[in-house]
Structure 1
């Protein structure tokens, strides 16, 4: 790209390019792919002129509303990226004018979006339009946009329209039309600043915008203007520069009385700093973030760049210093699933934050803790004790799963996940354990973690029924991750997760009664927990039914699964993904052994010490042949387990499918937002799969299995307040444990345990 902004761009291995004008079919996909953000706000990668067919989307973490909708949804708030140029009656628009040259570049390392487009109007006049914008990672309330406009052939008269567009709406869905969630409550100007405040209809959240637009000819000093629509003339070869700096605040954490004053104050500060200083601070913030999160691969630059794309989107999804928000299934990049939070967060996204930004991981778990009371109400309403987290969660913590949705074949079906997919209870508990095991954050456990573990265990103790004849506990009418089979008895995933949850809660109770007895008693009093109840958890945990097939020597996914019609997948598409056999209809899936996504295989991944290599291979081999991967959650998990059991070729193919889920729109719905679970699953497939990293016997363990053409892979993880720099090769592991203290770190490498001294690079080798 030969652009005035080229000097700001990173090397090619950090750049995602849109090399041509996206046709209407690709327009909304690219808007998701090129999303900018910082954890507080997400802004879809729209064209500034808002062409026909575009879906402007600006989403603020935690801002939900229900006006005109069946359930609360993430609000599409007013769009600050609205800048239009009209040249003598013709709008500069990528869908209306001829486009002679066009390119947009997302710089993953700096979080900036750069554009260069050459337009030609009906009079054959050419115009060069260049822009760069970003939402600051340093100050997450600040956004900046700079535009250069040049008339290449002759003088022209132009009209400039700069706006914060409050007419945006949320997309319609089943039984609903488009919805507008905000109304303007204040518009004013102060000095060179303009101010607008809107309020959501039902939640009454205020969103305040303050902006400043400066205009300059050439590269001279910009002059602020209050005008939002103004006329200008431009000579042939002359360049105009427009610089827009804006701030966004909400009343979620600022009182309505103070929000205007704070917004104006900080906008003045930002305007005084100017574009270059704000960009520099943003760049430095990104440098620090990448220092902890980057993955280097020698031998495959394309995969390295695609991995960075996935990591970039996780960086702009995680909010700092906010214990009241989580991450939705489509991040802050679109309205898929209405911005709701699923089990995806704890099982797929959380590990990335645990090992790169544990403070954000803690925030995500605090989001669940702060909604324990609504979860208790859900459990009580269904006749259970303890806490039952909603299958879909928004701001309140109450159940917001919509009653209807489109099935894979396009038909409208009734949704039952909120009534039966109770495994989310244990999934959240697993997230608590995972975070604590990697961080040893005792303060978190005493404040929140123990209460979550105890209340989730209490739920399972009330959810089981005792079979006197078989002397086992059963969980009936539940649903595992495989949603093709909706209400089953004794789902292996549900039962094993429940058993683990009960056992782990008992273990925590015993441990903290010895080490932090005062705090444990305080938690116990708060929730009326007795030692007798805890003792019962252990008894139940050891007797929950899990069915093993003696003939096939596998775990049966649920009671009666192996009696269903057995169909082996034999056809695959261009991505090597399974094709549904022609003689099977979507509505008949429950009558077959076909599986939607990782279910039993998910257990093989979550509990590597629970299954022998032989058991894992038998179960993986059986279920992979029957899994359709009709969820973005599936390929990454099968990739990891496939690598572990020796199915490396397929493991790599599944990794690539997950890796390129959004870059190549493999699920055909990236237009609705980036697939959050795919982002986190891809990271895990790389670090846990190829890097072979797991927690084994309470220590970091590595059994690398690099693809044959990868020479080495380097990454960092945070482990109990230490930074581990890891470099894996085919026959060696290089480890540096950075710590402010003196000491050693135990590391397991395949079957041997090594004592690694702090702050010293150690290389461990092995024979092939």
Structure 2
């Protein structure tokens, strides 16, 4: 595609003080354009966990979001044959392949960028450009309906070697909608063909996928592969397990940390809540996560295989967060400093106004309080104001 036909804002693959592309090999900056959607997803996650109006309304956040959406629109072309939008001539996260059309990951992250931009526009009462909605709805994300998996790009043949995590990133961090069977098929399809000595962040993403599916021992087997990228005597991470590539490889470290923070806990940041769904392998007995910031509050999670406890350490917002326990249907506040334990109950922490699926018990969380319950899936959101 002619670079002069592109509009909006595109992030560089490698940058410096100027903000311009400084990658010594042109192909990465020109083709590995998923980086633009990756960066915008970080803005999205920040917006959903803080609702920082100042950044997005007055400090340039909205201009950035809308410019990225404009870029993705200019990068798409309509296919009359398939009746959908294509993104052509890219390098996917798997850097063994380049100049491919319709990278599943690239197109999915572009779709996510457009949906986020449209959502922010609605929040700010700004008219949503129709092309954002149209392209998000009709961009092609390759899917094989027979094998029930996502081909990495148009023309990918099962069994082709892959350098690093690519399609498996659709499940996490993208949270691209798919049936658990498809999620599993993607993991099974790409695990044996992914370069064993490749970049350090790869196997942590497979681990997160298997933890999602509650195949905890298989997940731990993938996570253990990460340790081959740690070198002695100072435990320094390197890019590749043979010792080659970047040294003090932050991407590998980050992948490992995400496997613990988002894999074992099941944390997922969505537009309306912070979800959790813990899963531990047999040799992990307890996990404590402190300082989880959500909508101005800070939480501490203590998780074992049997029990989960959430403590509020800071809660400046009014209204505070609300806890909703399933089964009893009873609603009650927790008094400051009190602890509530509910046996045989699963927890959902949710936004007021959403319809609960089941009969629920509500718990309003304030500083100094904690609740505990048998380990289960759930989510966290804001509580209603008094009188609502």
- Judge same fold: TM > 0.5, yes or no: yes
Contact 1:699 1:747 in 2 (8 A): no
- 2:72 corresponds to: 460
1:450 Cα deviation (Å)?
Answer: 1.2
Distance 2:91 2:4 in 1: 15
Q: Aligned to 1:733, what secondary structure does the other structure show?
A: strand
Deviation at 1:742, TM superposition (A): 6.1
What's the CA shift for 1:706?
A: 1.5
- 1:764 alignment partner in structure 2: 373
Q: 2:194 aligns with which of 606, 627, 631?
A: 627
Residue 245 (structure 2) pairs with residue 683 (structure 1): no
Q: Contact conserved, 1:659 with 1:679, CA < 8 A, in 2? A: no
Partner in structure 1 of residue 311 of structure 2:
736
Which secondary structure does the structure 1 equivalent of 2:229 belong to? Answer: coil
Alpha carbons of structure 1 residues 751 and 420: separation in structure 2 relative to 1, 3 Å: farther
SS in 2 for 1:727: strand
In 1: Cα distance, 2:152 partner to 2:9 partner: 25
1:650 paired with 2:218, answer yes
Instruction: Show structure 1 runs of 5+ residues with no match.
Output: 1-378, 404-414, 514-519, 521-530, 568-592
Cα distance, 1:621–1:647 mapped onto 2, change above 3 Å: farther
Q: CA deviation at 1:748?
A: 8.2
Distance 1:756 1:656 in 2: 39
Determine the structure 2 residue equivalent to 1:484. Answer: 96
- Aligned to 1:454, the other structure's residue is in SS state helix
The answer as to whether partners of 1:430 and 1:501 remain within 8 angstroms in 2 is yes
Map of 1:498-513 to 2, 5 A cutoff? 498-513=110-125
Question: What SS class does the counterpart of residue 138 from structure 2 fall into?
Answer: coil
Aligned to 2:28: 417
Inter-CA distance 419–641: structure 2 relative to 1 (3 Å threshold): same
**Aligned match of 1:451 in 45, 63, 71?**
63
Match of 1:399 among 6, 16, 21: 21
Answering whether residue 299 of structure 2 is matched by residue 709 of structure 1, we say no
Deviations, residues 511-545 of structure 1 (Å, cap 9, x unaligned): 111xxxxxx6xxxxxxxxxx47x221111111111
CA distance in 2, matches of 1:640, 1:395: 34
1:745 aligned residue: 321
Q: Find the residue that maps to 1:715 and give its secondary structure.
A: strand
Is the 1:700–1:747 Cα contact (8 Å) retained in structure 2? no
Q: CA deviation at 1:612?
A: 2.6
SS class of match (1:548) = coil
Return the match for 2:162 from 587, 591, 595. Answer: 595
Question: Equivalences for 1:689-704 in 2 at 5 Å?
Answer: 689-696=263-270, 698-704=272-278
Q: What SS does the corresponding residue of 2:94 show, helix, strand or coil?
A: coil
Per-residue CA shift, 1:415-472, capped at 9, x if unaligned? Answer: 5211111111111111110111112211111212211110111001100011123221
Secondary structure class of the residue paired with 1:498: helix
- Is contact 2:277-2:376 (8 Å) kept? no
Change (3 A) 1:609 1:743: farther
Instruction: State how 1:217-256 maps to structure 2 within 5 Å.
Output: none
Distance (whole Å) between structure 2 residues aligned to residue 625 and residue 392 of structure 1: 30
Partner Cα distance (1:665, 1:497) in 2:
28
Residue aligning to 2:52: 441
1:429 alignment partner in structure 2? 40
Q: 1:724 to 1:671 in 2, by over 3 A?
A: same
Give the 3-state SS of the residue equivalent to 1:709 in structure 2.
coil
Contact 1:594 1:626 in 2 (8 A): yes
**How many residues align structurally?**
334
Paired with 1:748 and 1:385, the residues of 2 have a C-alpha distance of 46
Matches within 5 A, 1:607-622: 607-608=174-175, 610-622=177-189
**C-alpha separation in 1, matches of 2:245 and 2:85:** 45
1:371-427 Cα offsets, whole Å, 9 max, x none, are xxxxxxxx9955300011111111111111113xxxxxxxxxxx5211111111111
TM-score by length of 1: 0.41
Q: Which has the larger radius of gyration?
A: 1
Q: Does 1:548 align with 2:156?
A: no
Q: Distance in 2 between matches of 1:655 and 1:501?
A: 29
Q: What is the CA RMSD across the aligned residues, in angstroms?
A: 2.6
Distance 1:610 1:748, change over 3 A: farther
CA offset digits 1:266-298 (Å, max 9, x no partner): xxxxxxxxxxxxxxxxxxxxxxxxxxxxxxxxx
- Work out the CA distance in 2 between the residues paired with 1:478 and 1:682: 27
Aligned pairs for 1:133-152 within 5 A: none
Task: Say if 2:336 is the partner of 1:724.
Answer: no
For the 8 Å contact 1:756–1:762, the answer to whether it is kept is: no
Distance 1:652 1:748, change over 3 A: farther
Question: How far is 1:473 from its partner?
Answer: 0.7
Contact 2:161 2:194 in 1 (8 A): yes
TM-score (normalizing by structure 2): 0.79
Name the CA distance, whole Å, in 2 between partners of 1:745 and 1:609.
27
